[in-house]
Structure 1
Amino acid sequence: MPLLRHDLPLHGRKTEGASLKILIVAPSWIGDTIMMQPLLMRLKARDPAAEIQVLAPAWSASLLTRMPEVDAVIENPFPHGSFDWAGRRALGRRLASAGFSAAYVLPNSWKSALVPFFARIPRRIGHTGEARFFLLNERHSKSTLPRLVDRYAALAGEFPDPTPKPRLISTPERQRQAREALGLPLESVAVIFCPGAEYGPAKRWPAHHFATLARRLDAPVWLLGSAKDAPIGEEIAHLSAGKALNLCGRTTLEQAIDLIASARAVVSNDSGLMHVAAALDRPLIALYGSSSPSFTPPLSAHAKILSLELPCSPCFKRECPLAPPDTLRCLEDLTPERVLDALNH
Structure 2
Amino acid sequence: MLKDAIDLSAVRRVLVIKLRHHGDVLLSSPVLSVLKTHAPHAEIDALVYHDTRDMLSGHPALSQLFTIDRNWKKLGLRGQLAAEWQLLAGLKARDYDLVIQLTEHKRGAWLVRMLRPRWAVAPGGNFGKFFARSFSHRYPVIGGNRRHTVEIHLDALRRLGIHPSAGERRLRLVAGKTAQQSVRQKLAAQGVSGAYLLIHPTSRWLFKTWPAARMAALIEQLRVQGETVVLSAAPDPAELAMLADITGRLSRPVASLAGQLSLKELAALIDGARAFIGMDSVPMHIAAAMQTPCVALFGPSGDIEWGPWQVPHRVLTTNLPCRPCGKDGCGGGKRSECLELITEAQVLAAFNSLMAEVGA
Regarding TM over 0.5, the answer is: yes
- Cα distance between partner residues in 2 of 1:57 and 1:123: 23
Post-superposition shift, 1:136? 2.4
Q: CA contact under 8 A between 2:14 and 2:42: conserved in structure 1?
A: yes
User: Where does 1:100-115 land on structure 2 (aligned, <5 Å)?
Assistant: 100-115=96-111
Q: CA contact under 8 A between 2:190 and 2:255: conserved in structure 1?
A: no
| Among candidates 300, 306, 316, match of residue 316 of structure 2 | 306
Q: CA contact under 8 A between 1:267 and 1:286: conserved in structure 2?
A: yes
Stretch deviating more after TM superposition (119-128 or 154-163): 154-163
Query: Kindly tell me: are residues 76 and 171 of structure 1, through their superposed partners in 2, closer, same or farther at Cα, counting changes over 3 Å?
Result: closer
Residue 189 (structure 1) aligned with residue 199 (structure 2): no
- Cα distance between partner residues in 1 of 2:313 and 2:88: 40
Identity %: 24
Query: Kindly tell me: are residues 36 and 300 of structure 1, through their superposed partners in 2, closer, same or farther at Cα, counting changes over 3 Å?
Result: same
Residue 207 (structure 1) aligned with residue 226 (structure 2): no
**Aligned to 1:257, what secondary structure does the other structure show?**
helix
Post-superposition shift, 1:212? 1.0
Structure 2: runs of 5+ lacking an equivalent:
1-9, 354-360
Paired AA for residue 277 in structure 2:
V
Residue 165 (structure 1) aligned with residue 163 (structure 2): no
Post-superposition shift, 1:149? 1.0
Paired AA for residue 29 in structure 2:
Q
**Aligned to 1:239, what secondary structure does the other structure show?**
coil
Paired AA for residue 321 in structure 1:
G
Hey, what does 2:114 align to over in structure 1?
A: 118
Aligned residues: 324
Larger helix fraction of residues: 2
- Cα distance between partner residues in 2 of 1:77 and 1:202: 27
Hey, what does 2:6 align to over in structure 1?
A: none
Q: TM-score, normalised by structure 2?
A: 0.81
Q: CA contact under 8 A between 2:50 and 2:70: conserved in structure 1?
A: no
- Cα distance between partner residues in 1 of 2:62 and 2:196: 30
Q: CA contact under 8 A between 1:233 and 1:246: conserved in structure 2?
A: no
Residue 69 (structure 1) aligned with residue 54 (structure 2): no
Stretch deviating more after TM superposition (170-179 or 150-159): 170-179
Query: Kindly tell me: are residues 73 and 251 of structure 1, through their superposed partners in 2, closer, same or farther at Cα, counting changes over 3 Å?
Result: same
- Cα distance between partner residues in 2 of 1:232 and 1:263: 22
Query: Kindly tell me: are residues 205 and 304 of structure 1, through their superposed partners in 2, closer, same or farther at Cα, counting changes over 3 Å?
Result: same
Once the two structures are superposed, what CA deviation does each residue of 1:41-94 show, in whole Å capped at 9, x if it has no partner?
A: 221121112211111122223221253222221121236999x99565663244
User: Where does 1:171-320 land on structure 2 (aligned, <5 Å)?
Assistant: 174-181=179-186, 183-185=189-191, 187-198=193-204, 200-217=205-222, 218-228=226-236, 229-320=239-330
**Aligned to 2:218, what secondary structure does the other structure show?**
helix
Once the two structures are superposed, what CA deviation does each residue of 1:121-169 show, in whole Å capped at 9, x if it has no partner?
A: 3322111352212332322233466221111101112416347221334
Q: CA contact under 8 A between 2:25 and 2:48: conserved in structure 1?
A: no
- Cα distance between partner residues in 2 of 1:309 and 1:113: 40
Q: CA contact under 8 A between 1:94 and 1:119: conserved in structure 2?
A: no
Once the two structures are superposed, what CA deviation does each residue of 1:283-329 show, in whole Å capped at 9, x if it has no partner?
A: 100100111111111113411111112122111102221889xx632
Post-superposition shift, 1:280? 0.9
- Cα distance between partner residues in 1 of 2:342 and 2:280: 14
Structure 1: runs of 5+ lacking an equivalent:
1-17
- Cα distance between partner residues in 2 of 1:209 and 1:186: 24
Stretch deviating more after TM superposition (243-252 or 291-300): 243-252
Q: CA contact under 8 A between 2:280 and 2:297: conserved in structure 1?
A: yes
Query: Kindly tell me: are residues 40 and 90 of structure 1, through their superposed partners in 2, closer, same or farther at Cα, counting changes over 3 Å?
Result: same
Query: Kindly tell me: are residues 79 and 178 of structure 1, through their superposed partners in 2, closer, same or farther at Cα, counting changes over 3 Å?
Result: same
Q: CA contact under 8 A between 2:176 and 2:264: conserved in structure 1?
A: no
Post-superposition shift, 1:20? 1.8
Query: Kindly tell me: are residues 258 and 309 of structure 1, through their superposed partners in 2, closer, same or farther at Cα, counting changes over 3 Å?
Result: same
Paired AA for residue 69 in structure 2:
P
**Aligned to 1:104, what secondary structure does the other structure show?**
strand
Q: CA contact under 8 A between 1:89 and 1:114: conserved in structure 2?
A: no
